Structure 1
Amino acid sequence: MTVRTEPITDASGRPIPVARTWHWGRWLAAAVALAVAARLAYLIVANPNLDWGKVAEYVFHERILSGVWVTIEISVLATALGLVLGVLVAIMRLAHNPVLSGLATFYIWFFRGTPVLVQLIFWYNLAFLFPELVLKVPFTMIGVKWDTNQVMTGFTSAMLGLGLNLAAYFAETVRAGIQAVDKGQTEAAYALGMTPAKRMRVIVLPQALRIIIPPTGNEFISMLKTTSLVYVVAGHDLMTNASQIYKANNLIMELLIVASLWYMLMTAVATFLQGRLERRFGSEAVRLVRGGGLAARILPKAAA
């Protein structure tokens, strides 16, 4: 809405000049902040101990680009794993079955209560507990087995460690989104004879997306940076490859700047995509559901 304001006039209709207020405190604070920022930028850019030529040389280095791709792979797979498990754990958490609810509560408590770094190292060293991973058909001798060290590579350990940890946080996010859906929607689904599973899939979860998607995007952005911890298990991600390069040539600060530039670029792209998703599944889309636009089409079909 555009608000139109008319100029203030005197009795004869002539406009009265309005004195502009000068906020000297704001200008002074802005000047000080700019001065400090400019000084810090100068100290970094003009630092004689920093070789910007090497930064430019390694930005598109083959191993750096390979690490960027592995970082994206780990982030996407771990987020997908965390989201799927998070939905399942959230549904278990809300179940009336006390065993399922208790197991879900324990899962959330355990994975939120232990550091991600500890979980990564645990999965990477799983062979100390289980030298072989065995998959057998119950009550038979038929099965297959794998060497744990061959299965639990740095990439696999990173995906499992980050994905399982993220699932605990996603579970709480999904639970909050499900509980935020208007109870009238649930009652209408029950009145139409829907099963709990169908009610959750067709009615509740689509509306819960409005609440679930924003924190999901934030978690994915955080995941892009959390993958830097994977260097402790040699996952060949961006941070791992950058650290291996600077350990060989001693260009520590230059390679850290290269890694930071790529992390910031990936974060910017993920933030843009998050904004698009929020507009696609935002409050307007949910308002159509609540107003009958989608419900009027889904509920009769579901009842049939």
Structure 2
Amino acid sequence: MSAHSIAEPAVDIAAAKPVRRPWIWATGVVVVVLCAQIVQLLVTNPNFEWPVVAAHLLDPSILRGVYNTCILTVWGMLLGIVLGGVLALLKMSDSRLLRSIASGYIWVFRGTPELVQLIFWFNIGLVLPQIGLGIPFGPLLISAEANDVITPIVAAVIGLGFHEAAYQAEIYRAGFLSVPNGPLEAARSLGMNPVAVFFRVRLPLAARFIVPPMFNQVIGMTKGTSLVSVIGGSELLFSVQEIYNETFQTIPLLIVACIWYLVITSVLNVCQHFIERHYGRSSRPIAATRTAVPNAPAATRGDDDE
């Protein structure tokens, strides 16, 4: 007796019912109740001092701190991206010496706290009273006092940038290693030199894997600039601290800082969404893109339709 001769019971798909999951409803009720309690606390508790928050939200010193936070993020990320790219290339080179240098840098700067690095660069004058350029093992041609050059903002950019470079190097390296060898070998077979292969083939293909985590680091650095307040850098948190040290309105001023951090990171999240969507287009299924081409021919179904 063949397997096909056994009658199988008919299944009415229209009568199928979804599986009940009461624990999902219970969890949802608990979350809604907790959110309602938090909202009630925020609205009814006078200690939050919402009028004070509204009064200081657009304070000139606060806006100056927001501007400095954005500047620190931009310059720190630029330094981290450039130096991180160089470190990634060194770590992927054929020279054991260059790989060791890059690995040592990443080991030190990724393995020590960012706050410690900021304090170190701010106090670099204790180690090098003078900073300058000159002949190796010879006299200095240009020199200046370290305390005059390494201001809190300069120390912040150096500390944030050097720390970020260690992470960017690993992001670059992971993106470069994700590129398959096929396109690279095809470019070499066409006679392209290594520099052209890197900039015209490898880097564009790796961008889809590099840009999203890089943007996550941008958001992380924006919040990490709050550490600069420890060395006296005039960023957002430092501006807030200056005000509440005089008015003793700590909580409402911290709420002002949180609101501005949320505004900045929300803008960055929107930019990240569009960038990820741009670089993710190449990974979408072909069937999903056929809807944009109404006159595209239908796919052949094989010999069974003939």
TM-score range, shorter chain: 0.7 to 0.9
Residue from 176, 179, 182 that aligns with 1:181:
179
Whether the aligned pair in 2 keeps the contact of 1:207 and 1:286 (CA below 8 Å) is no
Distance in 2 of aligned mates of 1:124 and 1:141: 25
Aligned to 2:115: 117
Aligned to 2:275: 277
Matched residue count: 277
The one-letter amino acid of 2:282's match is E
Whether the aligned pair in 2 keeps the contact of 1:136 and 1:143 (CA below 8 Å) is yes
The one-letter amino acid of 2:39's match is A
Deviation of 1:279 (Å):
2.1
Distance in 1 of aligned mates of 2:20 and 2:202: 53
Distance 1:225 1:142, change over 3 A: closer
Deviation of 1:139 (Å):
8.6
Root-mean-square deviation (CA), in Å? 2.6
Whether the aligned pair in 2 keeps the contact of 1:210 and 1:286 (CA below 8 Å) is no
Distance in 2 of aligned mates of 1:63 and 1:160: 24
Paired residues for 1:54-203 under 5 Å: 54-137=52-135, 143-203=141-201
Deviation of 1:283 (Å):
4.1
Aligned to 1:296: none
Aligned to 2:231: 233
Higher Cα Rg, which structure? 2
Tell me, which stretches of 5 or more residues in structure 2 are unaligned? 1-11, 287-306
Deviation of 1:80 (Å):
1.2
User: In structure 1, the residue corresponding to 2:25 is in which secondary structure?
Assistant: helix
CA deviation vs aligned residue, 1:155-209 (integer Å, no higher than 9, x gap): 1111110111111011011001101111122222333343333322222111100
Residue from 241, 244, 250 that aligns with 1:243:
241
Aligned to 1:262: 260
Deviation of 1:138 (Å):
5.7
The one-letter amino acid of 1:217's match is F
Deviation of 1:33 (Å):
1.0
Aligned to 1:219: 217
Deviation of 1:277 (Å):
1.4
Deviation of 1:31 (Å):
1.3
Distance in 2 of aligned mates of 1:285 and 1:49: 51
Pick which of 189-198 and 164-173 moved more. 189-198
Residue from 192, 197, 202 that aligns with 1:204:
202
Residue from 5, 27, 30 that aligns with 2:28:
30
User: In structure 2, the residue corresponding to 1:134 is in which secondary structure?
Assistant: strand
The one-letter amino acid of 2:30's match is V
The one-letter amino acid of 1:81's match is L
CA deviation vs aligned residue, 1:16-59 (integer Å, no higher than 9, x gap): 77767664432222111111121122223311222110000011
Distance in 1 of aligned mates of 2:125 and 2:170: 31
Distance 1:236 1:18, change over 3 A: same
Deviation of 1:285 (Å):
8.1
CA deviation vs aligned residue, 1:224-243 (integer Å, no higher than 9, x gap): 11111110011100011111
Deviation of 1:123 (Å):
0.4
Distance in 1 of aligned mates of 2:64 and 2:158: 21
Whether the aligned pair in 2 keeps the contact of 1:210 and 1:283 (CA below 8 Å) is no
Distance in 1 of aligned mates of 2:95 and 2:267: 42
Aligned to 1:48: 46
Distance in 1 of aligned mates of 2:221 and 2:284: 27
Distance in 2 of aligned mates of 1:269 and 1:57: 23
User: In structure 2, the residue corresponding to 1:49 is in which secondary structure?
Assistant: helix
Distance 1:153 1:285, change over 3 A: farther
Distance in 2 of aligned mates of 1:223 and 1:17: 54
The two structures have a TM-score, normalised by structure 1, of: 0.84
Consecutive aligned runs of 4 or more in structure 1 exceeding 4 Å deviation: 15-23, 137-142, 285-288
Distance 1:122 1:133, change over 3 A: same
Deviation of 1:66 (Å):
0.4
Whether the aligned pair in 1 keeps the contact of 2:69 and 2:222 (CA below 8 Å) is yes
Whether the aligned pair in 1 keeps the contact of 2:132 and 2:140 (CA below 8 Å) is no
The two structures have a TM-score, normalised by structure 2, of: 0.84
Distance 1:184 1:54, change over 3 A: same
Distance in 2 of aligned mates of 1:191 and 1:174: 25
The one-letter amino acid of 1:177's match is G
Whether the aligned pair in 2 keeps the contact of 1:64 and 1:238 (CA below 8 Å) is yes
